[in-house]
């Protein structure tokens, strides 16, 4: 099994190297389609991940039909690659004069929109998931206010170096989630009135999280966002930006959430989980079903 996984990793890196070379020639508005195409080529090599995605989709109650689950799984795999390819070209397409034209807020809560884009005299917490266009949205929103993105270091060294060079551009500070929220990070967040961006749908484990539910299934969940909201009282925007068209992204979520001293951390974290689940159910093809969110 280890030999197979190593071989698969080599194949994936080879495809990534080739895709990088070809990517420079791709027109900006074709970037998403290019990513979907590349993903379709390597998808057959990830048999275990395909099976995991289908199983997750069915157990989450998105559908009970395995053929439909397989379709959603393949679409979500393509969306991941397409979204990353498009996100890397966002700085070449979106500018300070037109960034609002690339965001759609029809039907969104007005207070959420105001807190996110207009009330830039205070720090906020932006909670999302591996859903929609989390990379692209961070780049676009950086025109409204500075962003602090909590991320993890990539396991593959070559991929990590590539991401460091090509990842976010603009006023986006990326901090390694392993280092936690240091005093310097907290001071920067408050001084610059940044949006602290946290992807909450990652496996936390017993040591760092609480056992809550996500799509009705037990899921060890990081409580960082809830703790931060309770401690500071800062508004929390929980939801996703989903892709509607090339470089056009729609906000999906409800009213902003305000927590207070004395609020129950686990109940607050469950509320955030539920908010993310609602967004994912509306656009299941844009969720990363291949990751191991549920580990018992």
- pLDDT, tens digit, for every residue of 12-30? 666 666 666 666 778 888 9
Q: Is the dihedral of CA 46, 49, 55, 58 positive or negative?
A: negative
**Within the chain, what is the greatest distance between any pair of CA atoms?**
55
pLDDT of residue 99: 95
Cβ contacts of residue 80 below 8 Å, gap of 6+? 35, 39, 288, 290
Between the alpha carbon of residue 235 and those of residues 113, 122, 124, 129, the distances in Å are 12, 9, 5, 18
pLDDT of residue 177: 67
> Quick one: pLDDT band at residue 183, thresholds 50, 70, 90?
confident
> Quick one: pLDDT band at residue 199, thresholds 50, 70, 90?
very high
- Please tell me the distance from the alpha carbon of residue 282 to that of residue 108, in angstroms, as a whole number: 14
Burial 71-104 (b: 16+ CB within 10 A, else e): ebbbbbbbbbbbbbbbbbbbeebbeeeebeebbb
Relative to beta strand 217-222, strand 209-214 is: antiparallel
Cβ contacts of residue 214 below 8 Å, gap of 6+? 201, 221, 273, 276, 277, 293, 294
pLDDT of residue 153: 55
| pLDDT above 90: percentage of residues in the chain | 67
pLDDT at 265 > cutoff 70: yes
Q: How many angstroms from the chain centroid is the CA of residue 220?
A: 18
pLDDT of residue 207: 79
Average per-residue pLDDT for the chain: 87
- Please tell me the distance from the alpha carbon of residue 141 to that of residue 180, in angstroms, as a whole number: 23
- Residue range 168-188: average pLDDT? 74
Reported pTM: 0.86
pLDDT of residue 156: 52
pLDDT of residue 97: 93
| pLDDT above 70: percentage of residues in the chain | 83
Q: Where are the alpha helices (DSSP H) in the chain?
A: 2-23, 31-42, 47-59, 66-93, 110-113, 134-141, 157-166, 183-191, 205-208, 224-232, 265-282
pLDDT of residue 43: 92
pLDDT at 164 > cutoff 70: no
- Tokens coding 241: 């930006």
pLDDT of residue 26: 80
- Tokens coding 64: 């009970």
* Burial status of residue 158 (CB atoms within 10 A of its CB: 0-12, 13-18, 19 or more): exposed
pLDDT at 149 > cutoff 90: no
* Burial status of residue 278 (CB atoms within 10 A of its CB: 0-12, 13-18, 19 or more): middle
pLDDT at 3 > cutoff 80: no
Q: How many angstroms from the chain centroid is the CA of residue 52?
A: 19
Lowest mean pLDDT among 102-106, 122-126, 262-266, 290-294: 290-294
Question: For residue range 99-120, what is the model confidence (pLDDT) as tens digits?
Answer: 999 999 999 999 999 999 999 9
First to last CA, the chain: 21
- Check residue 133 and report its DSSP letter: -
- Residue range 131-159: average pLDDT? 80
- What is the arrangement of strands in the sheet containing 236-245, beginning at the earlier edge strand? 103-104, 248-253, 236-245, 124-128, 195-199, 147-151, 172-176
pLDDT of residue 27: 85
pLDDT of residue 174: 77
Please tell me whether residue 2 adopts helix, strand or coil conformation: helix
- Residue range 136-159: average pLDDT? 77
Give the residue carrying structure tokens 């997750």: 56
């Amino acid at each position: 099994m280890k030999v197979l996984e190593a071989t698969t990793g080599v194949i994936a890196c080879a495809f990534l190297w080739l895709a990088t070379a070809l990517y420079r020639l791709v027109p900006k508005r074709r970037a998403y389609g290019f990513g979907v195409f590349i993903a379709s080529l390597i998808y057959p090599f990830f048999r275990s991940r395909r099976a995991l995605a289908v199983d997750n989709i069915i157990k989450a109650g998105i559908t009970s039909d395995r053929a439909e689950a397989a379709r959603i799984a393949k679409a979500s795999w393509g969306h991941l690659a397409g979204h990353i390819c498009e996100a890397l070209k966002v700085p070449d397409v979106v500018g300070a004069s037109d960034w609002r034209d690339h965001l759609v807020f029809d039907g969104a809560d007005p207070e959420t929109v105001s807190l996110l884009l207009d009330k830039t005299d205070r720090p906020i917490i932006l909670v999302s998931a591996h859903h929609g266009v989390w990379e692209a949205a961070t780049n676009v929103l950086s025109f409204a206010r500075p962003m602090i993105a909590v991320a993890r270091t990539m396991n593959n060294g070559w991929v990590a170096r590539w991401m460091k060079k090509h990842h976010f551009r603009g006023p986006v500070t990326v901090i390694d989630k392993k280092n936690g929220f240091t005093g310097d990070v907290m001071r920067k967040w408050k001084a610059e009135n940044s949006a602290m961006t946290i992807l909450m749908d990652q496996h936390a484990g017993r040591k760092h999280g609480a056992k809550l539910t996500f799509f009705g299934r037990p899921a060890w969940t990081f409580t960082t966002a809830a703790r931060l909201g309770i401690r500071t009282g800062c508004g929390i925007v929980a939801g996703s930006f989903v892709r509607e068209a090339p470089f056009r992204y729609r906000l999906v979520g409800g009213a902003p959430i305000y927590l207070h001293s004395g609020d129950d951390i686990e109940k607050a974290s469950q509320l955030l989980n539920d908010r993310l689940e609602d967004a994912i159910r509306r656009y299941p093809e844009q969720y990363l079903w291949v990751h191991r969110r549920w580990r018992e």
